[in-house]
Amino acid sequence: MRKYDAVIFDLDGVICSTDEYHYLAWKELADSLALPFDRQYNNKLRGVSRLESLNLILALGERQYSDEEKQAMAQKKNDTYRRLLEKMSPADVSDDVLSTLNELKRKYPLAIGSSSRNTKFILSRIGLADFFDAVIDGNDISASKPDPEVFLKAADALSQRPSSCLVVEDAAAGIEAAVRGGFDSAGIGDASRLDGAKYHIERLSDLLGIL
Ligand code: BG6
Ligand code: MG
pLDDT of residue 62: 96
Mean pLDDT of the chain: 96
- Report the chain's C-alpha Rg in angstroms: 17
Q: Express each pLDDT in 83-98 by its tens digit.
A: 999 999 999 999 999 9
Q: Whose CA is nearest to atom 2 of ligand 1?
A: 47
Pocket-forming residues, ligand 1, beta carbon under 6 Å:
11-12, 22, 45-50, 53, 78, 114-118, 138, 171
Q: Are residues 123 and 76 in the same domain?
A: no
Same domain, 104 and 77: no
Which residues participate in catalysis according to the annotation? 10, 12
Mean pLDDT of 139-150: 96
Choose one of 65, 85, 105: the last residue of a domain. 85
Select from 46, 68, 85 the last residue of a domain: 85
Residue after which a domain boundary falls, among 63, 85, 107: 85
What would the mean pLDDT of 163-179 be, rounded to a whole number? 96
Ligand 1 atom 11: the closest Cα is on which residue?
A: 116
Q: How far apart are CA 42 and CA 25, in angstroms?
A: 11
Do 105 and 194 lie in a common domain?
yes
Cα-to-centroid distance, 72 and ligand 2 (Å): 24
Q: Ligand 1 centre from 115 Cα, in Å? A: 6
Single-letter code of the amino acid located at 3: K
Orientation angle between helical segments 67-85 and 19-32, nearest 10 degrees: 140
**Cα pseudo-dihedral 189, 190, 191, 192, rounded to 10:** 60
- Asked whether the predicted pLDDT for residue 66 surpasses 90, the reply is yes
Q: Rounded to the nearest whole angstrom, what is the distance from the C-alpha of residue 169 to the centroid of ligand 2? A: 6
Write out the residue range of the structural domain in which residue 40 sits.
19-85
Name the residue among 207, 152, 208 with its Cα closest to residue 179.
152
Looking at the structure, do residues 166 and 75 belong to the same domain, yes or no?
A: no
Cα–Cα distance list, 209 to 100, 111, 124, 156 (Å): 11, 19, 29, 26
Give this prediction's pTM: 0.95
| Mean pLDDT computed over 37-42 | 95
Q: What's 103's domain CATH number?
A: 3.40.50.1000
Looking at ligand 1, which atom is closest to the CA of residue 117? 15
